[in-house]
Amino acid sequence: MSEYAAIVLAAGEGNRLRPLTRNRPKPMLPVATRPILEHVFDQLIDADVSEIVVVVGYRRNRVQSHFGPTYRNVPLTYVTQEKQLGTGDALLTAESAVDGTCLAVNGDQIVDSRIVRETIDGHDSDAAGTIALLQRGDIGEYGGVTVDDGTVTSIVEHPGDGRDYYLNAGVYVLEPEAFDAVRAAEPRDGEHLLVDGLSDLVDSGAEVRGVVSDGVWVDATYPWDLLDVSFELFDTGIVDGTRSADGHGTSTVHESAAIREPVVIDRDCVIEPGAVVGPYACLGENVTVGANAVVERSVVDADTRIGTGATALECVTGTGVTLGVGSVVPGGPSDVRVGDRVFEDEPLGALLADRVRDRGGVTYAPGTVVGSNTTVHVGATVRGTIAEGTEVQA
């Protein structure tokens, strides 16, 4: 077993995933029917981590009530970041719960156990910290790191200077001096960032190591990423896409329904005659897929009903959604507005947040985002971004 406790940073909301995070934090959003954070815990435990400290904040009751005091016989200690003031502040919130060298990981990104093991094995106690790195062509909105012979030479958030960077995978082994550096780092836009403390250590001449891994790393930044992440977990074998309702013994699949792998079908689902589920479909607990309905390349959360003859392609739902009889989510690509930005050609048919109800015969234009507790009346055509609690008329 690892001698290090793992600090899991899971206090943030994930505001770029709104409206799905209206009622729960990003780490509790489902990928392949299970919360992101559950996948994170699994990979830590598979890497022989035997103690986990969870930093919670936004909607923390959703985390604590789901997991309780242990997970897979590993004790969970919760500490609360009262205000979400950055990853550095979250790390310092957990400082008193660990002793000596520790592991720190992001609770809203899935890294496989290989990355965790390689980072631990690559750490030297003479170094103040060690960062897991990945070779990626596009760092995009993530952090970049340059390395010389295993030693980190710079850490840059959102690099845009054309240099070759490794992607910061968000897995760290930290010595106590790294906590001191995070504490001393200047806040940025009112937030203390973990990487700023490590960057200051690098600038001061302290050794920070980088370990390059070929392991699996996936992150959901925007709503359509929940599709990509789930599908990558299938393709990499982290999730068994041959798992069907029959394996649970509590779900019902009609003999005339078609299940096209890879799929994950959780407990207490009902798949009615002539329905087609998959490929690349994730059905959460207590989902009903009506007769002759089609669900493909979609993530359907718990307690959702897909009505008779409905079609859901590249669809993401929250909990308790009703896609009515004959309603159609035709799939992407689409232009999707998130806040004040428009993302072009994204693979999102529609996002229906918690407790959206459509009355049937509804057509969703590609890229539609519907806020929670919205009612869509019979025969409506829905497009763009719909605020929560709206009544959409035909």
For 157-192, how does the pLDDT look when each residue is reduced to its tens digit (9 = 90+)? 877 676 788 998 999 999 999 999 999 888 888 888
Distances (CA, A) of 47 to 91, 127, 199, 210, 389: 21, 21, 27, 19, 44
Per DSSP, helices labelled H in the chain are 36-46, 60-67, 87-93, 113-121, 176-184, 194-204, 225-235, 245-248
Model pLDDT for residues 77-106, shown as the tens digit of each residue: 999 998 888 889 999 999 888 888 899 999
Q: Are residues 208 and 337 in the same domain?
A: no
Q: Are residues 151 and 11 in the same domain?
A: yes
**187 and 91 housed in the same domain:** yes
Same domain (yes/no): 245, 316: yes
| pLDDT, tens only, 303-326 | 999 999 999 999 999 999 999 999
Residue 257: beta bridge partners?
Answer: none
Q: Which residues span the domain enclosing 126?
A: 5-219
Cβ 118 vs Cβ 150: under 8 Å: no
Q: Do 179 and 41 lie in a common domain?
A: yes
> How high is the pLDDT of residue 149?
87
The neighbour count for residue 292, using CB atoms within 10 Å, is 17
Please give the mean pLDDT across all residues of the chain: 89
pLDDT class of 244 with cuts at 50, 70, 90: low
Instruction: Say what percent of the chain tops pLDDT 70.
Output: 97
Q: In the structure, what pLDDT confidence band is assigned to residue 2 with cuts at 50, 70 and 90?
A: low
With contact defined as beta carbons under 8 Å apart, do 333 and 299 qualify? no
* Domain stop point among 219, 246, 281: 219
- Residue 138, pLDDT > 80, answer no
The percentage of the chain sitting over the pLDDT mark of 90, rounded to a whole number, equals: 57
Q: Are 67 and 206 contained in the same domain? A: yes
Quick: pLDDT tens for 49-65. Answer: 989 999 999 999 999 99
| pLDDT band at 368; cut points 50, 70, 90 | very high
CB 330 within 8 A of CB 366: yes
Query: Are 258 and 215 within one domain?
Result: no
pLDDT tens digit sequence for 332-367: 788 888 777 888 888 899 999 999 999 999 999 999
State how far the Cα of 281 lies from the Cα of 152, in Å rounded to an integer. 41
139 falls in which pLDDT band (50, 70, 90)? Answer: confident
Domain-ending residue, one of 219, 249, 278: 219
Arithmetic mean of pLDDT, 203-226 = 89
Question: Do 359 and 261 share a structural domain?
Answer: yes
CATH, residue 48: 3.90.550.10
Residue that finishes a domain, picked among 190, 219, 248: 219
Q: What is the CATH number of the domain that holds 350?
A: 2.160.10.10
pLDDT of res. 1 = 42
In the predicted structure, residue 123 carries a pLDDT above the cut 60? yes
pLDDT of 389 higher than 90: yes
Burial profile 358-374: b = 16 or more Cβ within 10 angstroms, e = fewer: bbbbbbbebbbbbbbbb
pLDDT of 108 over the 50 cut: yes
Q: Specify whether 230 is located in the same domain as 168.
A: no
pLDDT at 246: 46
Q: Does 172 lie in the same domain as 80?
A: yes
- Both 229 and 207 in one domain: the answer is no
**What are the DSSP E strand ranges found in 175-297?**
208-213, 217-219, 252-253, 258-259, 263-265, 270-271, 276-277, 281-283, 288-289, 294-296
**213 and 285 in a common domain:** no
pLDDT beyond 50 at 238: yes
Provide the number of structural domains found in the chain. 2
